[in-house]
Chain A
Amino acid sequence: MKKVLVPYLLLAFIVCAACNKAPESTPETEDFAALEKIVLTDFTNNIALSGYLNLSINATKLNIALTNLNTTTNDANLAIAQQAWKDMRTVWEQSESYLFGPVEDNDYDPNMDTWPTDYVQLDSVLHSANSLTVTDIQGFTLSLRGFHPIEYIIFGENSSRTAAELTARQKTYMISLATDLTNTCNDLYLSWASAPVNFAQQVISAGSGSTKYAKKQEVFLALVDGLIGICEEVGEGKMKEPYDAQDPQIVESPYSGNSTTDFKNNITGLRNVYLGLNGGKGLKDLVAVKNKSLDNTIQSEITAAINSFDNISQPYGSAIISQRVQIQQTIDALGVLKETLEDELKPFVIQYIQD
């Protein structure tokens, strides 16, 4: 009987040993090429895959919260739904620091996050008797889908929505919107996690069999471009456009008052990619090996940019009028960071990562 147990024990041991999570199996190494591979693997597992899985989970949570609000329409459930929207928004905004791969190839981004909201069409849709199933929603133009129409319904203008105000049509619409959003997020996650696209594998095998990336350098450049892109998007677009025009109407996420949090989460996402997450390696590990001074500069500029958001204490729509100095400081900090990424980190990648 005892002898019979031995193979089972061995089998259990092998199975357990195989169940290793990527970050824990990451060995320390001085070999730069091996380190490059580890950074890509850790980015894929700890940031991209985990981020998109989290996004998908949060979409489901929002869907459940909105379903509960639909069933039992009271202010407590409305508050829960609003928090679920903000929670999902956090994950999404952080993932915007790596907008390459399926998210751009398959237009998942505009499907979820098109701005501005089309008030005229939204009102026409809500006042019509047309059916509002998920299939109907998917036939709508982008500005009638995704985060912002949901935001408009559950927060109302100036975040003043009460549960009693929600109409039956609004509730039907928000449920279909949330289902559409959940489907999009699931598709996005699956495009990284499984066949036929399996983009995670394309990134991890860059330079060694990937059909998308003949060299590891190409993925690293895509990563750095993503970081530069998000600095530009926040510093020169989302913040600067309403700031220059002094026009609150062109501020993104105005109904929830979540704009500044969105911006900060974008840059937090950038920090995650640079530093790595959950014990995994990040770009910093590569930079530090060859140019510690550059690594120090980038890290301190990221910290300065992220901290500077905390000085903007008012909702962004009013801050563009009353806290112009603070906003300018953040825009400047993002400009400095972008310049370093463009003029130093990108050339670093080109110089040192050639395989």
Chain B
Amino acid sequence: MKKFGVLVTLLTGIGGFTMCNKAGVFPDSGYDERLSGGIATAFDETSKSFSHEIPGLNDRDARIHELGDAAFEQTFVTAPAPVNSGLGPVFNNVSCISCHHNDGKGTPTAGFTTSSLLFRISIAGADAHGGPLSAPGFGGQLQDVSIFGKQAEVKMNITYSDLPVTYPDGSVVVLRKPAYNVLNPYQSLPAGFMISPRLAPPVFGLGLLENIPESTILSFADENDKDGDGISGKPNYVYDAFTKQTALGRFGLKANTPNILTQAAGAYNQDMGITSYVFPQESSYGQSQADGLGDDPELADSVLNSVHFYIKTLAVPARRNVTDVDVKRGQYLFTQINCSGCHKTTVQTGVDVNLPSVSNQRIQPFTDLLLHDMGDGLADNRPDFLASGSEWRTAPLWGIGLFEKTNGIPFYLHDGRARTIEEAILWHDGEAKKSKEAFMQLPKDDRDKVIRFLKSL
């Protein structure tokens, strides 16, 4: 009887402990691969797939999201005006949506009403906070449009030349290499100025990315490449203009912005010439074309806050065709050739009791939010805080397969030079060279499968 008692106790013990599975060790097969944003995922594959609010918002939050949505589309006009006053005097475009087409990317042209490409400018050296040193008379960004009666700071001329790439199997893809020329400056450009092209990135899923614990991002970093895989991964530490403190950079194409609030307020300020409580000075402050009006901040605090919340609560589009065998094969190869070395497949967000839908979610952003040397071909040769002239932040790949829907004509990479996902892969170099070469070594059929996988994101 005693023996039986011991046996039962032992069995119960083993059984009990075996069932004590921690969430972290659940097998991958236990998760639905379509849920790129965890619970903050939206099932829609139309042109509006980037424009859905995360599920589970309470009525008040849903209303603020709605107000932010409306504000995101508002066109600004010249001050003084009864509605949306304060555009310019120099600017890049007139509303958030003009650049972030359907909350996604846009068109890589500059200076037109349909343009989504802008150029940062600086001169050698660093400012008091370690950021790029503004170009005298131009600030940190070139505004290539102006209100009537003022002059655009510059006009940009964009030309492309062919750059053929040949695969080991003999097939050829012709990339287009951009050349950017600054024309008609309203005053002399400073000697040795550096410019950097930036195409408006998609704005969904940012609440999730903002909620990834700093420790998680830093755990991906390997600045001195200790593991010898050729991939370093460097965090950018940047200046938060609102809190006036140094913080980890997460957003912007060089991870030069710490959070959504300063990203959104910065875009209002630099792209549209709209001042707010975060950036109360005009982008043209101190320049000869400054408006001299005492109407700052031009944007109501509530409007900036609602737009901030809108962006924070845009859901990630669900993946498609996740069980397709070709997509599965592509997914396997994506990891095999170590694209996932930087494009981190799975990340867990931190806890945010105020916003349960972005809290503690298992997401698939395909980014580590770190800087990587991408080689000379993609380099802008313009440092940005700790980012060197050839380093860029790993772009999140979620939603990349829907650009054809949201954008009409899709464009990829930081300046939209790539017209297809394949072209974008072939531009990878520097730390990504090994993976790119491994991709090029694959038979055509397998390369197509990698692209099919990427199109399922």
Q: Are B66 and A236 in contact (CB under 8 A)?
A: yes
B409 at the interface (CB under 8 A from A): yes
A142 pairs with B94, CB closer than 8 A: yes
CB neighbours (8 Å) of A143 from chain B are 75, 77, 94
Mask for B48-77, Cβ within 8 A of A = 1, else 0? 100000000000000000100010000101
Q: Which of B33-61 contact A (CB under 8 A)?
A: 44-48
At the interface, yes or no: B336 with Cβ under 8 Å from chain A?
Answer: no
Cβ-defined partner of A120 (8 Å) among B45, B70, B78:
B78
Contact string against B for A residues 97-126, beta-carbon threshold 8 Å, 1 for contact and 0 otherwise: 000101011110011001111111100110
Q: Which of B55-108 contact A (CB under 8 A)?
A: 66, 70, 75, 77-84, 87, 94, 98, 101-102
Alpha-carbon gap, A120 to B75, bound state (A):
14
Q: Tell me whether B443 is interfacial, beta carbon within 8 Å.
A: no
One of B66, B75, B101, B145 near A115 (C-beta < 8 A):
B75
Q: Is A141 an interface residue (CB 8 A)?
A: yes
B148 at the A/B interface (Cβ < 8 Å)? yes
CA distance A121 to B81 in the complex (A): 10
Interface hits, A209-261 → B, CB 8 Å: 212, 218, 221-222, 225, 229, 236-237, 241, 249-250
A128, CB-defined interface residue at 8 Å: yes
**Interface membership of B13, Cβ < 8 A:** no
Interface of B is mostly: loop
**B11, CB-defined interface residue at 8 Å:** no
Q: Residue A222 contacts which of B47, B79, B83, B87 (CB distance < 8 angstroms)?
A: B47
A82 to B455, CA, bound (A): 49
Task: Tell me whether B81 and A116 are in contact (CB under 8 A).
Answer: yes
Contact between A119 and B81, CB atoms less than 8 A apart: yes
Question: Do B48 and A225 have beta carbons less than 8 Å apart?
Answer: yes
Mask, A129-166, CB within 8 Å of B = 1, is 00000000000111110000000000000000000000
Chain A facing B: main interface SS: helix
Which residues on B sit within 8 Å (CB–CB) of A119? 77-78, 81
Number of A-B residue pairs having CB atoms within 8 Å of each other in the complex = 90
Report if B216 contacts A (CB, 8 A): no
B166 on the A face (CB < 8 A): no
A18 to chain B, nearest CB (A): 33
**Interface contact A104-B408, CB-CB below 8 Å:** yes
Bound CA span A80–B452, Å = 56
Is there an interface contact between A249 and B408, defined as CB atoms closer than 8 Å?
Answer: no
Residue of A nearest to B107 (CB): A107
A116–B84 CB distance below 8 A: yes
B287: interface (CB < 8 Å) = no
Alpha-carbon distance A21/B108, docked complex (angstroms): 41
A202: shortest Cβ distance to chain B, in Å?
11
Q: Report yes or no: A237 in contact with B70, Cβ–Cβ below 8 A.
A: yes
Complex Cα spacing A118 to B95, Å: 13
Chain A residues, CB < 8 A from B66: 236
CB–CB B81/A225 < 8 A = no
B263: interface (CB < 8 Å): no
Give the distance to chain A from B372, nearest Cβ to Cβ, in Å: 32
Q: How far is the CA of A236 from the CA of B53 in the complex (A)?
A: 15
The smallest C-beta distance from B426 to any residue of chain A, in angstroms, reads: 22
Please measure, in the bound complex, the distance between the C-alpha atom of A237 and the C-alpha atom of B304, giving whole angstroms. 18
| CA gap between A228 and B83 in the complex, in Å | 26
Q: Chain B: which residue is nearest A115 at the CB level?
A: B75
CB distance from B392 to the nearest CB of A (A): 27
Say if the beta carbon of B157 comes within 8 Å of chain A: no
Q: How long is the Cα–Cα vector from A281 to B66 in the complex, in angstroms?
A: 34
* A249–B147 alpha-carbon span in the complex (Å): 22
A225 touches B46 (CB 8 A): yes
| CB < 8 Å neighbour of B77 from A117, A212, A222 | A117
Pairwise interchain contact A125-B409, C-beta atoms closer than 8 A: no
* Contact yes or no, B113 A107, CB < 8 A: yes
Expressed in whole angstroms, the Cα–Cα distance for A110 and B83 within the complex equals 17
Q: Are A100 and B47 in contact (CB under 8 A)?
A: yes
Of the residues A115, A128, A142, contact of B148 by C-beta under 8 Å: A128
Q: Does B114 contact A (CB under 8 A)?
A: yes
* Assembled-state Cα–Cα distance A125/B101 (Å): 29
Given A105-B407, A118-B77, A121-B78, also A229-B94 (CB < 8 A): no
Can you list 17 A-B contacts (CB < 8 A)?
A: A104-B47, A104-B101, A105-B47, A114-B75, A118-B78, A118-B87, A119-B77, A120-B81, A121-B78, A121-B148, A141-B94, A141-B147, A142-B94, A143-B75, A221-B44, A221-B45, A225-B44
Known: A119-B81, A121-B148. 19 other contacts (CB 8 A): A104-B101, A104-B102, A105-B407, A105-B409, A106-B114, A114-B94, A115-B75, A116-B82, A119-B78, A121-B77, A124-B147, A140-B148, A141-B94, A142-B94, A142-B98, A221-B44, A225-B46, A225-B48, A250-B83
